[in-house]
Amino acid sequence: MPTAVVRRAAALVRLFLRASHPARMVVIGFAMAVLLGAGLLMLPVSTEQGSTTDWVTALFTATSAVCVTGLVVVDTAAHWSTFGEVVVLGLIQVGGLGIMTLASLLGMLVVRRLGLRMRRSAQAETKSLGLGDVRSVIAGVITLSLVMEAITALALTLRFVLGYGQSWGEGAYFGVFHAVSAFNNAGFALYPDSLQRYATDPLVCLPVLFAVIVGGLGFPVLFEIGRRLRGKRRHWSLHARVTLLAYSVLLGVGVLAFGAFEWNNPETLGPLSVGGKLLVGLFHGTTPRTAGFTTVDIGEINPTTMLVNDVLMFVGGGSAGTAGGIKVTTFALLAFVILTEVRGESQVHVLGRKLPVGVQRQALTVVLVAVGMVFTATLLLLVITPFGLDATLFESISAFGTVGLSTGITEQLPRAAELVLIVLMFTGRLGPITMASALALRERGRRYDLPEERPIVG
Amino acid sequence: MPTAVVRRAAALVRLFLRASHPARMVVIGFAMAVLLGAGLLMLPVSTEQGSTTDWVTALFTATSAVCVTGLVVVDTAAHWSTFGEVVVLGLIQVGGLGIMTLASLLGMLVVRRLGLRMRRSAQAETKSLGLGDVRSVIAGVITLSLVMEAITALALTLRFVLGYGQSWGEGAYFGVFHAVSAFNNAGFALYPDSLQRYATDPLVCLPVLFAVIVGGLGFPVLFEIGRRLRGKRRHWSLHARVTLLAYSVLLGVGVLAFGAFEWNNPETLGPLSVGGKLLVGLFHGTTPRTAGFTTVDIGEINPTTMLVNDVLMFVGGGSAGTAGGIKVTTFALLAFVILTEVRGESQVHVLGRKLPVGVQRQALTVVLVAVGMVFTATLLLLVITPFGLDATLFESISAFGTVGLSTGITEQLPRAAELVLIVLMFTGRLGPITMASALALRERGRRYDLPEERPIVG
Ligand SMILES: [K+]
Ligand SMILES: [K+]
């Protein structure tokens, strides 16, 4: 038995290091971007004071930027110079483009190899997911990102200049920074209190939400929507339908929960007009889908709202987009498995399609490994820091899901806890994607058959 | 879509009310025992002061006793008269015998109908699980319970009389009460601080642990062990092997975690000798397997230990025994599913046997529904009470898993929160068992086939 365990653990390690080259390349590429970014941020030119930044702070900031998480141990505008801010912005853009491209390509690889039985429909299927070939995926992701970021930046710039009297230069800088940060679901802001000063301004909040949602749906879904907008009517893929359904449901749950639980909280929605409550509720119902911006102080939301947010942040956004978490499809597939059980059927049907057994197990594995990661990190934070379960669990899920929301403890964490979060942000960003595709690509036929036996469940 | 949701919700309700008669009978039987017990406890003769007890307190205590949970809103020895204590003891005994018998019978039904393809081996299988026929199961459960309780009661009585100078009458009463409470994993004690006064006395702690572990392994496993002890060598069933493996692993994890995290805590293990630390560590590594007794103040354990306990309590003990939770087999099966994924195999193999796909989905469903129940209850407690996530999550899992450990908030809860816990204790006791068997009994062949399609996971 111990030998078997060691052998299996080794297989797990090999899984990431050797067995699947595409997954390994993703990890190495992201690690290099993080290290390069940290190196740049350590330079004196990157800080407002012109002094060197210690390596943990630089590494934390670079990881948070590349993984589009948005957690910060130093205030972005106060600590970093404009050069440093541009480095952060560049890392966000590289991280966002990288994750969209690589996740789309890995998804394409999986669908191509395993998606459908017949070669012809497999080709049709990958085309319908917008995954024709590698170059067109890269071109599509870059075009989409830049266009959406430009639209959002324009809207924000106009508002900052016309509504808040900023100069065109300053307005454009703030507009571009927050547009890129929003589309990539990064959550970095140039204000110490995120976007709280714009809490009741729909002309700032709505463009940000637009960018957050578009970026968070994921490239394959956006590609399908785009095709339909261009008048090419075809059937929706299962992936797009599940994503849109689950994303809408979670958005609704988020808005309702935040609105209901915070309506009378004097520190959050309490003092606002009904219109203001609705706008902030909409904003904070969306932002746990790993956007990370805030328009109220997250440290003041009540523990009920916090627990709902924990779940929403863990689920995250759409696959192959800039959002993190285990992804809404993974979550929805498990819901459909339960529905199958309730209906007493032997096969899992999802919106008129049959779900392969392998995919069910992959979804389960992704969720349980994610739970294990968040649990381990929370445990470590409880040991290392003086904070309670509320704050440490929230922080861990925020880092794992690349959300960037915090109850305010990030800047007070000891070094060891910062290192825990660095590892968690990195594995949270790449873990679910690489694990899911690596698992799917390893899927193979049965080699031998054992007698079936049924233990008692429950 | 809304119609479909309503139809499915209705199917879920029917599942418990009509579709599976055995599951419905279990629920009705337990509800009647609870109501009868609550009625008796409301009588003036049941209290020390001779006054009537309010219905919520009586209902809470009766539910806690029948569900062998052990959470209390009034101190057992101080509030209840000897008559009241005997009522509690009777409810524990009825609840424990009831759950062992009914879970064993439901397990038998499932194995008989679905266990194996060939009729002959199905009969062999149900025999090997000790599930020959209904009467022999009932007789076996009663015999086993009474023998084990008698052994434990004898050991405790001798210790109380010889070691602590109690009279034979008093010693026997305390011995029987705590033996029955231990074997049934109920956790009710006649001391306001549970068994803390015996923390370093192995002659009290070890008999209690013996009863807790034997009761918590479950009847099918005990039947197999008994058969082997009588020299009838046969192959171990998959259920027994998985249970013993998982139970041992969780016991080890529990002891190690409690020992390591509490070793220097001045409020728990700190002041004790190494021998005392080890005994208390062993005790508190075992008690989250839903025994509910304590030998240190659970309100003083640090948040790290509490979080580990949360997980252990959620998993609980063996199937068809007196322990609660989702059960160790359910937990282990999911671990084997993950192992399958890591090994890249298409079929789940568990200790040399193939696991039917239906069982995998049932285990997943039981776990996710349980998570949903604990989550909902925690959310309600956060709304209703002033306590934080640490205490409310711990309390919810303790009630759901019929554990009975508490950070000390139970007696301070408002009425509404007590009602939440009553519902949670009841559904936590019967939910996983009835759900798992109801799901398994509904399993049927495919009726129609849809085209397969693979969404992106992660
Ligand atoms: K983020
Ligand atoms: K208990």
pLDDT in tens, A311-325: 999 999 998 888 889
| Helical pair B303-315 and B328-342, crossing angle rounded to 10 deg | 100
**Residue B261 domain-assigned?**
yes
A354 pairs with which residues across the strands? A349, B452
**Residue B269 domain-assigned?**
yes
Beta-carbon contacts of residue B239 (< 8 Å; ≥ 6 apart): A455, A456, B129, B220, B221, B319, B329
**Residue B365 domain-assigned?**
yes
For residue B119, the model assigns a pLDDT of: 42
Which 8-state DSSP code applies to residue B367? H
Q: CB neighbours (10 Å) of residue B369?
A: 22
Ligand 1 centroid to residue A290 C-alpha, Å: 5
Give the closest ligand to the alpha carbon of residue B215: 2
- 3-state class of A300 per DSSP? helix
For residue B279, the model assigns a pLDDT of: 92
Q: CB neighbours (10 Å) of residue B200?
A: 16
Q: Which of B402, B457, B436 is nearest to B15 (CA)?
A: B436
**Residue A10 domain-assigned?**
no
Range B143-155 burial, b when 16+ CB lie within 10 A, else e = ebbeebbebbbeb
Task: Convert the pLDDT of each residue in A325-345 to its tens digit.
Answer: 999 999 999 898 888 877 777
* A352 class by beta-carbon count within 10 Å (0-12 exposed, 13-18 middle, 19+ buried): exposed
Which 8-state DSSP code applies to residue B156? H
For residue B43, the model assigns a pLDDT of: 93
B452 pairs with which residues across the strands? A354
Ligand 1 centroid to residue A212 C-alpha, Å: 10
Task: Convert the pLDDT of each residue in B348-378 to its tens digit.
Answer: 888 888 888 878 888 888 898 899 999 999 9
What residues flank ion ligand 2 with Cβ within 5 A? B 70, 185, 187, 290, 292, 404
In contact, A401 and A325? CB cutoff 8 Å: yes
In contact, B367 and B330? CB cutoff 8 Å: yes
Confidence band of A230 (pLDDT split at 50, 70, 90) = confident
**Residue B267 domain-assigned?**
yes
Confidence band of A105 (pLDDT split at 50, 70, 90) = confident
In contact, A240 and A351? CB cutoff 8 Å: no
What angle (nearest 5°) sits at the alpha carbon of residue B393, between those of residues B390 and B395? 105
How far is residue A309's CA from residue B43's CA, in Å, rounded to a whole number?
46
Please give the mean pLDDT across all residues of chain A.
85
Ligand 2 centroid to residue B212 C-alpha, Å: 9
Give DSSP secondary structure letters for A258-275: HHHHHTT-TTTTTTS-HH
Q: Which residue has the higher pLDDT, B427 or A449?
A: B427
Task: Convert the pLDDT of each residue in A386-399 to its tens digit.
Answer: 998 999 999 999 99
Mutation to test the A interface, candidates B341, B368, B376, most A Cβ within 10 Å: B341
> Are the Cβ atoms of B341 and A362 closer than 8 angstroms?
yes
For residue A233, the model assigns a pLDDT of: 65
For residue A447, the model assigns a pLDDT of: 47
Give the closest ligand to the alpha carbon of residue B428: 2
Which domain covers residue B136, as residue numbers? 14-442
For residue B447, the model assigns a pLDDT of: 47
Residue A157 has pLDDT above 70, yes or no: yes
How far is residue A82's CA from residue A76's CA, in Å, rounded to a whole number?
10
Beta-carbon contacts of residue A91 (< 8 Å; ≥ 6 apart): A33, A34, A37, A62, A65, A66
For residue A5, the model assigns a pLDDT of: 58
Range A249-258 burial, b when 16+ CB lie within 10 A, else e = ebbebbbebb
Q: Which of B64, B102, B140 is nearest to B434 (CA)?
A: B102
Q: Which of A365, A368, A457 is facing B362, going by the closest CB pair? A: A457
Rounded to 5 degrees, φ, ψ at A192 are -60, -25
Residues of chain B short of pLDDT 70, as ranges, are 1-6, 8-23, 111-132, 233, 441-458
| Interface predicted TM-score (ipTM) | 0.84
B349 pairs with which residues across the strands? B354
For residue A8, the model assigns a pLDDT of: 64
**Residue B3 domain-assigned?**
no
How far is residue B71's CA from residue B65's CA, in Å, rounded to a whole number?
9
HSE at residue A386, side-chain half, CA atoms within 13 A, is 1
Into how many domains does chain B fold?
A: 1
How far is residue A108's CA from residue B390's CA, in Å, rounded to a whole number?
43
How far is residue A175's CA from residue B147's CA, in Å, rounded to a whole number?
77
Residue A175 has pLDDT above 50, yes or no: yes
- Ranges assigned E (strand) in B327-447: 349-350, 353-354
State the DSSP H helix or E strand holding residue A90, giving kind and residue range, or none if neither.
Answer: helix A82-114
> Are the Cβ atoms of B341 and A439 closer than 8 angstroms?
yes
Residue A123, token pair as written in the block = 């080709």
Q: Which of B110, B364, B369 is facing A364, going by the closest CB pair? A: B364
For residue B455, the model assigns a pLDDT of: 65
HSE at residue B67, side-chain half, CA atoms within 13 A, is 38
In contact, A421 and A60? CB cutoff 8 Å: yes
Residue B261, token pair as written in the block = 């995290």
Residue A278 has pLDDT above 50, yes or no: yes
For residue B58, the model assigns a pLDDT of: 94
Ligand 1 centroid to residue A397 C-alpha, Å: 11
Q: Which positions in chain B touch A117 (Cβ < 8 Å)?
A: 452
Q: Which of B319, B4, B328, B378 is nearest to A342 (CA)?
A: B4
Beta-carbon contacts of residue B165 (< 8 Å; ≥ 6 apart): none
Q: Which of B239, B348, B443 is facing A346, going by the closest CB pair? A: B443
For residue B3, the model assigns a pLDDT of: 63
**Residue B449 domain-assigned?**
no
Share of chain A above pLDDT 90, in %: 49
In contact, A166 and A177? CB cutoff 8 Å: no
How far is residue A81's CA from residue A42's CA, in Å, rounded to a whole number?
12
Which 8-state DSSP code applies to residue A236? P
Beta-carbon contacts of residue B412 (< 8 Å; ≥ 6 apart): none
Residue A83 has pLDDT above 90, yes or no: yes
